[in-house]
Amino acid sequence: MSSPEIVSTGKSSDKETFSFSKEQDGIKKTVRGEEVENGWIVTVDKEWEEKSVNGTSEWKFNSWKYISPVDPRELAKEKEDVQKPVINTEDAVSWLKSVSDSQGLLIVT
């Protein structure tokens, strides 16, 4: 029996990766992403110090892995764009002016 032969797939091995961390209130979260052939592998690490009533403390660590068919940074960017409302200040000023100029009762529907 012959030994298996390794054949190149012809696909580039130049895959993109990213990593960023954020620390808030003593909790550090790190998000890492690695591009693979059919999507992304995303790893979320969380570490923090848990203090006991008796004064001792213990470091805790959790890690989660997810698979995403699209770049997770794009999903986060879309989510940020949706959360930012667009306010036309000219419309707001004219609305407030019309309310202040009105006399009598204001009807709200």
Instruction: Rank 10-14, 22-26, 83-87 by mean pLDDT and report only the highest.
Output: 22-26
Domain ranges of the chain: 17-101
68 has which bridge partners?
Answer: 40
**Rounded distance, CA 31 to CA 104, Å?**
57
Class of domain 17-101: alpha beta
**Rounded distance, CA 102 to CA 69, Å?**
55
The pLDDT of residue 91 is 72
Q: What digits encode the pLDDT tens for the residues 18-37? A: 998 999 999 999 999 999 99
- β-strand pairing of 27-36 with 39-51: antiparallel
State yes or no: pLDDT of 80 exceeds 80.
no
